Amino acid sequence: MSAPVELDCRDLPCPRPIIELARALPDVAVGETLAVLARDPAARHDVPAWCRMRGQEYVGEETAEDGTPRYVVRRLS
């Protein structure tokens, strides 16, 4: 999945990947996607939960070239 914005949160502990996602989302156009790269195991649950709470679309998870989980979010509003 291609995403115009990619946040490198590989070395950030919980809840920083979600904080960075919340900070970056306003810079993404409605309908565009944003990817969060995070090794924090909680991100697997936190990103989809944050999307549900904030009315954004959780597109899914994939793996970056280095094996880091990559969570993709689409801005809906």
Q: Which residues are catalytic?
A: 14
CB 56 within 8 A of CB 21: no
| C-alpha to C-alpha distances, 1 to 13, 19, 60, nearest whole angstrom | 24, 22, 9
Dihedral pair phi/psi, residue 12, rounded to 5°? -95, 130
